[in-house]
A = this chain, B = another copy of it.
Amino acid sequence: MKKLLAAIFLFGTASAYAQTSPHEKLVQYVKPIIGTQRMGHTYPGATVPFGMVQLSPETDTASYELNGKYNPDVYKYCAGYQYDDKTIVGFSHTHFSGTGHSDLGDFLIMPTVGALKLNPGTADKPGSGYRSAFSHANEVSEANYYKVKLDESNILAEMTTSARVGFHQYTFPKTEQAHIVLDLMAGIYNYPDKTVWTYVKILNDSTLVGYRQTNGWARTRTLYFAMAFNKKFDHYGFKKYEKRQVYGGFWGKFNQTKDFPEIAGKQIRAWFDFKTQENEKIKIKFALSPVSMDGALANMQAEVPGWDFEKVKADGQALWETALEKITVGGSVDRKQDFYTAMYHTMINPTVYMDVDGQYKGIDQNIHKADGFTNYTTFSLWDTYRALHPLFNIIEPQRNADMVKSMLAHYDQSPEHMLPVWSNSGNENWCMSGYHSVSVLADAVVKGNAPFDANKALDAAVTTARHRSYEGIGEYIDKGFIPDEKTGVSVSNTLEYAYDDWAIAQMAKKLNRMDIYNEFIKRSENYKNVYDPSVGFMRPKLANGSFRAKFDPLSTINEGFIEGNSWNYTLFAPQDPEGLIKLMGGDKRFVRYLDSLFTMELPDKYFAETEDITRDGIIGNYVHGNEPSHHVAYLYNWTDKPWKTQERIRMILNRMYKPTPDGLGGNDDTGQMSAWYIFSTLGFYPVAPASNDYAIGSPAINNAVIQVGGGKTFTITVKNQSEKNVYIQKMLLNGQPLNGLTITHQQIMAGGELVFLMSSKHK
């Protein structure tokens, strides 16, 4: 190793190193505001890595319905915040990062002064409710810290978090009428009756507990809380907004209009009154638990026993610093902001989903205890199996193993006996297609990051993949494809199942379960069954084996695909690029196909069909803002024009990622878009997770050092890299030429150095 390090210096990387001195804090480069404008669906608030609490401002809490009809605006507010908005409704404790569907937004808190207003009011009239105007000039958004001045009240709002506790600090003016509003009706993707039940109980003069049960994207989600103030409230109260009051036993016995210590119902807001001196800080600790109110109290006590806001902020930022330092890169401030914000965005979801004592509510709605692992939820697996989990296998292997354990626990508890598809707080959203958790399991097993029962994992994968009643699997098994009659996404499902089956086969091979290997390696070739050579596209096939007549390979609507058209999905056989190229007529035709994809002009009418992305999210007909083509630019590597991969990757990096609020061309999708960015910036990418191979792209930094565990580092040195010098002339791995266009997981994890020699001309 010493010899190797010497070699690095001989290659002249010292100057690059100067840019990432060990004393430089990487957390400074995290700009949570990136992606908050338009389609990124990220949020600017505070969280620690993989934290259960994501404490962030809502600029609106749009209802799914408006006047009885679908409200198209609700989509904008998947993360609760849109950069262009002028008002803040309040600060809530749970958010998805970068999703295209949503939920959460639990427990919205807003400080106000003056007459008590319990309604949020409207954005055009912020004074009409507790909502306040704000300005980005008075806003600071950092990793685990958010600050904003509320114009209406002149309150300075600050927030930070631990894993399970949101810590608010509100600096008030002098007033006899200071209020904290706790809106238990607010929520993201809110339905009129999304809140099924709410309970609040005052424990003492400064502490309360409660819970809220919602029927949203998560069908049955109950989140418990404990809320503590650093100051006794003078008075408090609740207001119920539902029309019906079942029975009235309480009402005759007590005056419940004020200072009555409990309430339960469907639509509730709470308020707390204070008197404040000028610049007096009212601090609030707000702990969550998926298990119980006692659990929330215990979480608060364990994580934030005191009232030192700066310490909690610093502790959380230190966690981020440690997480970010897994990869140090050189480069411009802009590039570092892109890179470390991408790193940041890869480490928000999945989220820790258990109390400090390990208890959590399972998919079976029973309380379980995570035995020897951290339990996670928020698995957006259709997105994240591609690059996010492979990234974790390099820089967060233990977390990834714990995520696998969480998936296996989910499997054990699943009424359908299936691995998760889209796991959401002890619920299954069944969002998107495939059974891609098998890819995450297989990737971990194949890469040797499997401190779990790998054979059990294989059995879970096989059982899931054989679940005949799940979205066409029965037909897929019987016929080798899903008939168009069965489902509107028959082609993309067939393709995705075939990839997942290949992943299962790789895991089986590693575990020497050859019967399973044989079954699934055969299934993995099913992608060929939906290819129509007469048109050169994957195409819906009828049960009788003939292709469907109606077919438009540019359309994403009713063409047999999900979040992609046939043009893009036809390239979806990441497990077998060689076979695909052969199927599609060989190298020359394949390169022409790829070139067309990137360069054709997509007519407006098709753009309108494309979900979840801005116009900027599309290059030609290549859709980067959705995931199915994330591997596509790397496919040139299997042709005689790998330099085109290098060119395209750099183009995508430049066009799709910017260190600005509108810097993400599509939903970040719980970190998958950001994970693509990190891999591609480093110069390699997992085209087929569950393989040990990464495809070489074109590194966009001058140097990087990856902490690969056990104190070892893998250094990437890129010589002559520039915006024009995007082509690889030569690669040296530990001083030896690296031929071919792949590097293996083992080569990286062994530590060492990979040197790229770049040029403005391709080979």
Q: Does A22 contact B (CB under 8 A)?
A: no
Report chain B residues within 8 Å CB of A247. 216-217, 219, 429
Flag whether A544 is at the interface (Cβ < 8 A). Answer: no
Tell me which of A7-15, A250-258, A593-601 binds B. A250-258
Closest to A101 in B: B247
Question: Least Cβ distance of A304 to chain B in Å?
Answer: 21
Question: B416 and A261: CB pair below 8 A?
Answer: yes
Contact A430 B367 (CB under 8 A): no
Taking a contact as CB atoms under 8 Å apart, the answer to whether A261 and B415 are in contact is yes
Report whether B217 and A249 are in contact in the complex, using a CB–CB cutoff of 8 Å: yes
A60-94 Cβ-contact flags toward B at 8 Å (1 or 0): 00000000000000000000000000000000000
With A253-B470, A366-B292, A430-B252 as known contacts, state yes or no: A246 contacts B197, CB within 8 Å. Answer: no
CB of A205 closer than 8 Å to a CB of B: no
> A430's closest neighbor in chain B, by CB?
B249
The listed residue (B262, B469, B471) touching A252 by CB distance below 8 A is B471
Q: For the complex, what is the distance from the CA of A422 to the CA of B294, rounded to whole Å?
A: 25
Instruction: Flag if B215 contacts A365 (CB, 8 Å).
Output: no
Contact of A255 among B220, B244, B252, B469 (CB under 8 A): B469
Chain B residues whose C-beta falls within 8 Å of the C-beta of A293 in the assembled complex: 364-366
Could you say which of B246, B254, B264, B422 contacts A216, with CB atoms under 8 Å apart? B246
Please report which residues of chain A, range 216-230, place their CB below 8 angstroms from some CB of chain B when the two chains form the complex.
216-217, 219-220
Chain B residue nearest in CB terms to A294: B366
A201 near B: Cβ within 8 Å?
yes
With A247-B219, A415-B262 as given contacts, are A471 and B365 in contact (CB-CB < 8 Å)?
no
Determine whether A405 belongs to the interface, using a CB cutoff of 8 Å to chain B: no
CA distance A193 to B197 in the complex (A): 12
A interface bracket (residues with beta carbon within 8 Å of B): 35 or more
Chain B nearest CB, measured from A469 CB (Å): 6
Q: Give, as a whole number of angstroms, the nearest-CB distance from A405 to chain B.
A: 20
Closest to A292 in B: B366
Interface-centre pick from A202, A246, A416, A470 (highest chain B CB count, 10 A): A246
A373 at the interface (CB under 8 A from B): no
B216 with A197: CB separation less than 8 A: no
CA gap between A416 and B217 in the complex, in Å:
35
Q: Does A191 contact B (CB under 8 A)?
A: yes
Q: Does A431 contact B (CB under 8 A)?
A: yes
What is the CB-to-nearest-CB distance from A669 to chain B, in angstroms, rounded to a whole number? 17
A217 to B247, CA, bound (A): 6
Contact A220 B264 (CB under 8 A): yes
Most-contacted residue by chain B among A215, A292, A422 (CB, 10 A) = A215
* Docked complex Cα distance between A193 and B262 (Å): 21
Is there an interface contact between A487 and B415, defined as CB atoms closer than 8 Å? no
Given contacts A216-B246, A246-B191, A264-B220, contact A252 B365 (CB under 8 A): no
Among A202, A249, A261, which residue has the most Cβ atoms of chain B within 10 A? A249
Per-residue B-contact encoding for A325-366, CB less than 8 Å = 1, 0 else: 000000000000000000000000000000000000000111
